[in-house]
Structure 1
């Protein structure tokens, strides 16, 4: 499905920009601990952006199931909630934002489970 390919490509673009921003512009503005938090957000965004690209590819012929598309939307929500909360937490230092991160992690888990079900159903 083209939507998954578009979401994957867009997230890869954003993750490269944010990764460079974190490595250069934020380097001296946030602590080493917060820099590590920020980089975790980038790593998860890259991994799940690639996953969205993969889902877009397999949904175009290998696994024809609406569940693949639904799984992709869960991964996208996970990127926004998990990575997004880590970005904001690392820049602002507002620790309460850490409460959002596990919701994003749960969205990742649901997305991967849905993909597994779609593959098993064939």
Structure 2
């Protein structure tokens, strides 16, 4: 069962991890990644944080939350952001995990469906 607490804990976890990954990218990876790779990594971090904030906001405004939107946002972040992290880091090592390439747009689609589910719930 998806509860207020589920939304807030998931959002807070994603938010905390985005801070860790953002700092890791900005400091530890700055001299390892190309500018393009660093930009891609930052995109994953940004989208993760944006959706962490959405999950927390929905947790505090639970009347607008829907269990389906929780799953779309949560799985979307995992697929979108984490596949980008994997692609960038494996590419930097010269062993790009190409199987992750199709996962990223699926994650983006899930994030979009999360927003559309939210829109549907409000309307």
| TM superposition score normalised by structure 2 | 0.88
- Residues 30-109 of structure 1: pairs in structure 2 closer than 5 A: 30-59=33-62, 62-63=63-64, 68-93=66-91, 94=96, 96=98, 97-109=100-112
Moved over 4 A (4+): none
Name the CA distance, whole Å, in 2 between partners of 1:2 and 1:116: 22
Aligned match of 2:27: 24
Gaps of 5+ in 1: none
Deviations 1:63-106 (A, max 9, x none): 3xxx6222022101111000001101111112622211000001
- Given that residues 69 and 118 in structure 2 are in contact (C-alpha distance below 8 angstroms), is that contact kept between their aligned partners in structure 1? yes
Aligned match of 2:116: 113
- Given that residues 8 and 50 in structure 1 are in contact (C-alpha distance below 8 angstroms), is that contact kept between their aligned partners in structure 2? yes
| TM superposition score normalised by structure 1 | 0.89
Gaps of 5+ in 2: none
- Given that residues 85 and 101 in structure 1 are in contact (C-alpha distance below 8 angstroms), is that contact kept between their aligned partners in structure 2? yes
Aligned to 1:29, what secondary structure does the other structure show? coil
Aligned to 1:19, what secondary structure does the other structure show? helix
How far is 1:2 from its partner? Answer: 0.9
CA RMSD of aligned residues (A): 1.2
